Amino acid sequence: MIKAILIFNNHGKPRLIRFYQYFAEDMQQQIIRETFHLVSKRDDNVCNFLEGGSLIGGSDYKLIYRHYATLYFVFCVDSSESELGILDLIQVFVETLDKCFENVCELDLIFHMDKVHYILQEVVMGGMVLETNMNEIVAQVELQNRMEKSEGGLSAAPARAVSAVKNMNLPEMPRNINIGDINIKVPSLSPF
Amino acid sequence: MALKIVKGSIDRMFDKNLQDLVRGIRNHKEEEAKYISTCIDEIKQELKQDNIAVKANAVCKLTYLQMLGYDVSWAAFNIVEVMSSSKFTYKRIGYLAASQCFHESTDVIMLTTNQIRKDLSSPNQYDTGVALTGLSCFVTPDLARDLANDIMTLMSHTKPYIRKKAVLIMYKVFLKYPESLRPAFPRLKEKLEDPDPGVQSAAVNVICELARRNPKNYLSLAPLFFKLMTSSTNNWVLIKIIKLFGALTPLEPRLGKKLIEPLTNLIHSTSAMSLLYECVNTVIAVLISLSSGMPNHSASIQLCVQKLRILIEDSDQNLKYLGLLAMSKILKTHPKSVQSHKDLILQCLDDKDESIRLRALDLLYGMVSKKNLMEIVKKLMLHVDKAEGTTYRDELLTKIIDICSQSNYQYITNFEWYISILVELTRLEGTRHGHLIASQMLDVAIRVKAIRGFAVAQMATLLDNAHLLTGNVQRKGICEVLYAAAWICGEFSEHLENPMQTLEAMLRPKVATLPGHIQAVYVQNAAKLFATVLKSGEGSADSTAAQEMMIERLPLFVQSANLEVQERASCILQLVKYIQKLQQKDVEIAEEVIALFAGELNPVAPKAQKKVPVPEGLDLDAWINEPPSESESEDEQPKAIFSKEEPKHSRPRHTEVDEKELAKRREARKQEQANNPFYIKASPSSQKVYQEAPGVEHIPVVQIDLTVPLKVPGLPMSDQYVKLEEERRQKDRADKKKKEKKKRKEKRSGRGKKHDSGPESEEDITPAHMVDIVTEEMPENALPSDDDDKDPNDPHKALDIDLDNLVQKAAIRPLADSEKLPVRSHRAAEVLKSPAEDGDAERSVSQEPKKKSSKEKKEKKKDKDRDRKKSKEEKKKKKHKHEDKGEDLLGGQEDEPVVQSEETSEVAAPPSSTTAEVSDLDFWLSNAPVPSNTQGAATVAAAAAADPVPEAASGAAPDSEPEEPKDTEAEETKSSKHKKKKQKKEKEEKEKKKKKKHHHHHRHSDAGGEESVQNGTVEEEEPLPPMSNYCLLAENSYIKMMLEDADQVNDIQGNLQDGSQVVVSVIFENKCESFLKSMEFNVLDSLNSKLQRPEGSGAHDGLTVPFQLPPGVSNEARFVFTMQSIVMPQKLKGTLTFIVKNEDSSTHEKLDFKLHFTCTSYLITTPCYSDAFAKLLESGDLKCSSVKLEGISMPFHHLLARICFHHHFSVVERIDSCASMYSRSIQGHHVCLLVKTSDQTVSIDAKCDEPTLLGNVLDEIKQTFSQC
């Protein structure tokens, strides 16, 4: 089981949090802080597993994370998950994001948290791995987006126009903070 | 009004959406909280509007704010509103918000049940998907109960997308509503073979999660998973399954044996590291479970260790980490194979990655031995000095202590060395583990008596240099050590060389800066020291000096803010003053003072208190005194200023009691104390056990020269011990060699060479001390159980449900009423009649298909086929099993004496489906080694009898295809064999016709009517009565034969293709004291039916029963009969001949029996769906017949269950007191029943394409019910 999925940036700002077990909001924030504290002080060339200890769920749980440019993707899992499998899963998830957002960068996650959630929902459900095939995930996400668009129809047009206008005068929104090297060598990657 | 709406929609354009909110927050970095609070106000306004789009937008923003840590539960109702929007866009927003912030105590969840149900059944798969995803996050017990059935239905949805989500969510449903597990399990199991890999993977996922917590319930699925493992190519699925096997093997070592080969193959072949790693892990688990069983698994261990070494040497830190992790698992059972890689592990200690260092440390823990402990600890001590960061250093410290203290200091040969290590550890900067070191010091000093002198000296040094420990604020944790030091010096003060100096050190003014509890120990132990000084020379200069020092320094502690210190100090001060006073009067007082602290302190096991059983009659929850009543409150005393001065109400006030009464009470109390384990009795407790190290008497205790000054605390000393130890060992070895040489000279035996060249073995190392480790005390009659570590709140406990009897689909143990999933119903009537609704498992299944499209039906058919195949396999397995048993017996007791038999009857043992399933598993597990064990003729005979079908046809060597995964192949061969056999049968038939003998007997009738007892009386009970398929065939004083209903579902289905075979299982039970052997089973064939015999044997030859029976043993054999026509019941007469052998004689005996094949026994339980059933009835080629049964008082569902069970029908549909049922004969005749009941009258209308068969079946049904 996956207990929680956290995405935060190099400064510990949460970009997406998904707990599969209930924690009150302040507890959630504390978990994020502590996880960030644990993860951020690790070099990039050390292993990607951390024993979570007292953080969530006790000794059976591990933190498995990957660091891409400005973002940390942290999965908190128990011993029924394969460590290398989860690392692959993170990679699949990030590559899926990359496909869905076309060169994903931190800003995509910042402004489209809801969409990231929808993508995640196609990968993991209720703490269990739902789908690991990227093409299948992307296909499902796109079908749903298409449906959303068709529902929007005319009535949503003005709102979209306004939001486009709002986005126009946005010089401070740089598109170049790419998540970067998502094709980090994954030793265990096999055709899943 | 209209204007307002227009205005609203224009406003909406300029409402903030999520992006605006995010942007706003980013632009207000300085005053984020303030900005957000205005945003929340806006959101609250938006939520008040009627427009759902506005609301959805607001909820979307709330989801974002929730991520930032804002509690948004106040908007829960609005979230529900958005969830119920008809538009997917908004629905999705609503469900997302709900999944992020709803939880079990969110009360609006109750409102969502119907909405979710609606979404689940939505025609749009994405509505359903979104609802499932959301539900998976916030499912509550109520939701789980109400929606379980809907989700169950979705598990067979046409879209794999929905199926896989429905399968996954079932796990959450099970967790919240454990009752749903049993009814849902068969379908879940079905999904393991879903055509869509995603669904399959989901089902594997769920079952693995379930099995991880309660593995034993899922053992029976092992064959299925094994098949998946050998066939699947999806690495995710493989990993899950392999992990699952890792959890199962500890329960079933035979499974492990079976697994090793395919797993090793995978290890060799796979390129995916993740899979390789999990394989290695599971092989390790297997090896652990097998650790005693298999002799030749060292190759597997070597393979694992090699692969892990490759992982550890890899440059990828992740692999290195995992390699170490897996290595530590091997270590537990096969330490030797890991120890050879010590170099590698020690190397990992230098790794830059802390996780890896910690893993390596874990490994070291298991790798130490007496030989290398000092060396390893020395290495670790070096690391302690180098380590940066307190966490890692602390970890090192605890590991060093763990390593040394493990299993009662097993590996420590020199405790002086250990004490110096502990002392060195106190010099660590800023460690948190002072108390750990302290408790080690105390433990060693108390339990190892020989070391006390040394320990006291070291502690005295520590106390003398206390400033080094306390000087730095950072070192707070370490001053705990002083607690231990002070106590040890005080308690064992007789070992002190210079007690005065230590006393001085303990009474320094600086001590007052220590934490209170340490000061208290200081004060108390100063008193002990004082007593020692006093004793050593009363009236000497020392003792007066000590006295003065005490009187001078103690007042400092009397003023302490800590109560404990204050109290002790003032007591002791007064004591010393009093002593002084007495001494001035020249009274000898030393003895009395020392008596204050006399007595030995023994260590108590940490769990001792827990283990004390509560004495009988003691109720710990009962009030000792009556609880104070309300009215008493008025005489409450004014509150004391110091809480400890509060008067104790609870102490009962003794009014005057006369002497007699007092004496009586005293007596009673003594009695009680005598029986009270808590009361410390005057006599020394008998349980003090001093563990002697084995054979230590013979070991010369080497005196260690301690010329090196130990008093300089800055100098590490433990190294010296390492050297000393080396020298000592060398000396030892030299001594030994000498001795050995002598011995060799004496004995002239040349095999001692090994000792010269080989490395010294564990035994060679002798401890330097008489190690006298005192065991910890436990209370008398302590309970030995060690179950204190279980978490009572584990939600998985509730899921510990036996699923085995569900696995077989037959109606053997149907789901009870209470286990059915609640189905939503509109009409109250349905609810009312529900009690009558249980009774058959088939129904819930057969009802659902109605809703399904025709496409589904096709799938169903496939399923059916699959079922059939499965049962075929099962049958095969069973046969193999008999083979096994036969062999065992043959192999084991061939030369035993033998006996014989005749005829009687009895009630059969009820075979539960569970045992059937388990024995299938047994078979599956045990078949692997079979071929290798088979021996010559015995096997042939066994195989021939047990599996006569292929044997008769091909006449070939015993069929030995133990691997059932190749079922298709097997089936093909089988069917071809069947064809051959048919031809042969016809030949036989012709021969038969020449014979004129026809024996018809009724198998029930002469069984003494006992069968009817079995069937009749028991079944009156309200819950479905146990029904047995076994009935007595014949019995005499030697042997009992029990007949299993001629065609159990499995048996017949295997023969469907042939259409004319019935398998009979007979249990032979030896009832006498003698050995039965050479059993031959023979039946006089009739025109219509005959026993299948191996090729080459005559028509009258009996079949050899493939086993022998030692006294009291029973075994089962199967015989195949060929039927020409199945429309009429058949009776066959048979004889069993056997030899009864006992020590002095052996006699031939025989037992006659009659086999009765009812028409029912030609029927096979075949599920049928109502639409197919309707078509069948409409087709018009069925003949009609009916029967009426009067005076049936049993509940309708019992009646149905009974027809299902005894006559192999399945329920197609049931409405109130009316049900349609279906069955099929082995030759493909359809039999349809319509059963109606009213007022104890049951009418059965039946249709069948074979009227004779129908008539006979109806007669048999009638007979069944006439018996009750």
Write the secondary structure of B752-811 as one string of H (helix), E (strand) and C (coil).
CHHHHHCCCCHHHCCCCCCCCEECCECCCCCCCCCCCCCCCCCHHHHHCCCCHHHHCCCC
- When scoring A82, A124, A142 by the number of chain B Cβ atoms within 10 A, the one with the most, hence best to mutate, is A82
A187/B88 Cβ within 8 A: no
Closest chain B residue to the Cα of A144, Cα to Cα = B126
pLDDT: which is higher, A171 or B1017: A171
Confidence (pLDDT) at B896: 40
Mean pLDDT of A161-174: 55
What is the spatial distance between Cα B450 and Cα A97, in angstroms, rounded to a whole number? 68
Q: Which of B706, B707, B714, B709 is nearest to B465 (CA)?
A: B714
Average model confidence (pLDDT) across chain B: 72
- Please give the Cα distance from B913 to B1028 (Å, whole number): 10
pLDDT digits (tens, 9 = 90+) for B1154-1193: 877 787 777 777 777 777 787 777 777 777 888 887 777 7
Check pLDDT > 80 for residue B932.
Answer: no
Q: Is the pLDDT of residue B762 over 60?
A: no
Kindly report the CA angle at B407 between B685 and B402, in degrees rounded to 5? 120
Q: With a cut of 90, say whether residue B97 has pLDDT above it.
A: yes
Q: Which residue's entry shows tokens 């000296």?
A: B457
Q: Is B274–A47 a contact, with Cβ atoms under 8 angstroms apart?
A: no
B69 vs A22, A29, A113: nearest CB:
A29
The answer to whether B159 contacts chain A (CB < 8 Å) is: no
DSSP assignments along B1210-1224, one per residue:
EEEEEETTEEEEEEE
According to DSSP, the residues that pair with B1103 across neighbouring strands are: B1081
Judged by average pLDDT, the poorest of A59-63, A81-85, B148-152, B640-644 is B640-644
Task: Say which of B136, B239, B321 has its CB closest to residue A47.
Answer: B321
Which residues contact residue B1040 at a Cβ distance below 8 angstroms, ignoring those fewer than 6 apart?
B904, B906, B1032, B1034, B1067, B1068, B1069, B1071, B1114
Q: Is B1262 exposed, middle or buried (0-12, 13-18, 19+ CB in 10 A)?
A: middle
**Cα–chain center distance at B1268:** 44
Query: How many alpha carbons lie under 13 Å from residue B2 in its C-beta half-sphere?
Result: 0
Identity of the residue numbered B938? A
B1036 pLDDT higher than 80: no
Q: Which of A140-144, B574-578, B839-843, B1247-1251 has the lowest mean pLDDT?
A: B839-843
What phi and psi, each to the nearest 5 degrees, are found at residue B778? -125, 150
CB atoms A85 and B239 under 8 Å:
yes
- Would you give the distance in Å from CA B615 to the centre of its chain? 32
Which element (helix H / strand E) includes B1130?
strand B1130-1141
Per-residue confidence band for B942, with pLDDT thresholds at 50, 70 and 90 = very low
> A126–B164: do the CB atoms touch at under 8 Å?
no
CA-to-CA distance for B302 and B322, rounded, in angstroms? Answer: 17
Residue A2 distance to chain B (closest CA, Å): 11
pLDDT, tens only, B212-258 = 888 888 888 888 888 888 888 888 889 989 988 888 888 887 888 88
Alpha-carbon span B1244 to B1218, nearest angstrom: 10
Local confidence band at B956 (pLDDT 50, 70, 90 cut-offs): very low
* Confidence band of B92 (pLDDT split at 50, 70, 90): very high
Phi-psi region of B389 (alpha: psi -120 to 50; beta: other; left: phi over 0): left
Token couple for B67: 């991520």
Q: What is the mean pLDDT of residues B629-645?
A: 47
Encoded tokens for B687: 């349980």
The structure tokens 């180098």 sit at B386
CB contact under 8 A, B352 and A147: no
The single residue listed with the structure tokens 């120990």 is B521
Cβ separation A51–B236 shorter than 8 A: no
> Least CA distance to B100: which residue of chain A?
A18
Comparing A6 with B858, the larger pLDDT belongs to A6
Is B14–A162 a contact, with Cβ atoms under 8 angstroms apart?
A: yes
H or E stretch including B1233? strand B1230-1238
Contact A15, A7 (CB under 8 A): yes
Nearest to B274 among A88, A113, A147 (CB): A88
Phi and psi at B1094, nearest 5°, equal -60, 150
CA distances from B21 to A28, A155, B63 (A): 21, 22, 11
Query: Is it the case that residue B1039 has pLDDT exceeding 50?
Result: yes
Write out residues 312-331 of B within 8 Å (CB-CB) of A. 314, 316-322
Q: Is A126 in Cβ contact with B136 (below 8 Å)? A: yes
Q: How many CA atoms lie within 13 A of B283 on its CB side?
A: 29
Q: Fill in the DSSP letter of residue B448.
A: B
Predicted confidence (pLDDT) at residue B977 exceeds the cutoff of 60: no
Please, which contacts does B1012-1016 make with residues 24 or more away whose CB atoms are closer than 8 Å? B1012/B1267, B1013/B907, B1014/B907, B1014/B908, B1015/B1206, B1015/B1264, B1015/B1267, B1015/B1268, B1016/B1267, B1016/B1268
Compute the C-alpha angle B698/B702/B704, nearest 5°: 160
Q: So what's the pLDDT on residue B689? A: 39
CB B323 within 8 A of CB B287: no
Question: In angstroms, what separates the C-alpha of B168 from chain A's closest C-alpha?
Answer: 7
Tell me the chain A residues in contact with residue B56 when contact means C-beta distances shorter than 8 Å. Answer: none
Average pLDDT of span B347-369: 83
- Test B89 with A148 for CB contact under 8 angstroms: yes
Say whether pLDDT at B541 is over 50.
yes
Q: Report the distance separating Cα B126 and Cα B130, nearest Å.
A: 6
A179: pLDDT strictly greater than 60: no
Residue B1057 to residue B978: CA distance in whole angstroms: 8
Residue B913's pLDDT is what? 42
pLDDT per residue as tens digits for the range A20-75: 988 888 889 988 998 898 888 888 888 888 876 566 666 778 899 999 988 999 99
Token pair for A101: 């957002």
Q: Do the beta carbons of residue B650 and residue B624 sit within 8 Å?
A: yes
- Is the pLDDT at B892 greater than 70, yes or no? no
Write down the ipTM of this complex: 0.89
Q: Across the interface, do B235 and A136 touch by the CB < 8 Å criterion?
A: no
pLDDT value of residue B599: 80
Write phi, then psi, for B1262 (nearest 5 degrees).
Answer: -60, -40
- Is the Cβ pair B317, A110 closer than 8 Å? no
Q: Show the tokens assigned to B360.
A: 């390596």
Cβ–Cβ gap B234/A192 under 8 Å: yes
List, as own/partner pairs, every contact residues B227-232 make where C-beta atoms lie below 8 angstroms and the sequence separation is at least 24, other chains included: B227/B964, B227/B965, B228/B192, B228/B200, B228/B204, B229/B262, B230/B262, B230/B965, B231/B965, B232/B200
The CA-atom distances, in angstroms, between B361 and each of B148, B305, B358, B402, B675 are 48, 18, 5, 10, 48
pLDDT tens figures, A73-106: 999 998 888 889 999 999 999 999 999 998 888 8
CA distances to B728, B1198, B1199 from B722, rounded to whole Å, are: 10, 81, 84
Q: How far apart are CA B846 and CA B850, in angstroms?
A: 8
Pairwise CB contact (< 8 Å): B317 & A46: yes
B748: helix, strand or coil: coil
- B13 has a chain A CB within 8 A of its CB: yes
Q: Which of B135-149, B859-873, B1068-1082 has the lowest mean pLDDT?
A: B859-873
Q: Does B1184 touch chain A (CB under 8 A)?
A: no
Are A125 and B136 a contacting pair at CB < 8 A? yes
Angle, helices B125-138 vs A134-152, to 10°: value is 110
| Residue of B452 and B873 predicted with greater confidence | B452
Say whether pLDDT at B474 is over 60. no
What residues contact residue B351 under an 8 Å CB cut-off, 6+ apart? Answer: B320, B357, B360
Residue of A nearest to B199 (CA): A130
Task: Give the side-chain half-sphere CA count within 13 A for A30.
Answer: 8
Count CB pairs under 8 A between chains A and B.
181
- Tell whether the model's pLDDT for residue B86 goes beyond 50: yes
Residues in CB range of B1006: below 8 A, 6 or more apart = B905, B1154
Q: Is the pLDDT of residue B1121 over 50?
A: yes
Subunit contact A82:B239, Cβ cutoff 8 A: yes
| B205 interaction partners in chain A (CB closer than 8 Å) | 128-129
CA angle centred on B639, ends B638 and B642, rounded to 5° = 140
For the segment B701-742, what is each residue's pLDDT rounded down to a tens digit? 444 443 333 334 444 466 666 667 667 667 766 666 666 555
Report the residue of A1, A8, A25, A113 to disrupt the B interface, i.e. the one with the largest count of B CBs within 10 Å: A25
Query: What percentage of chain B has pLDDT greater than the value 70?
Result: 64
Whether B144 contacts chain A with CB within 8 A: no
Q: In angstroms, rounded to a whole number, what is the distance separating the alpha carbons of residues B790 and B463?
A: 43
Least confident among B91-105, B815-829, B878-892? B878-892
pLDDT digits over B1197-1243, tens only?
A: 888 888 887 788 888 888 777 888 888 887 778 888 888 887 778 88
Chain B hits for A1, CB-CB cut-off 8 Å, are 209
Q: Does position B60 have pLDDT exceeding 80, yes or no?
A: yes
Q: What is the pLDDT of residue B718?
A: 63
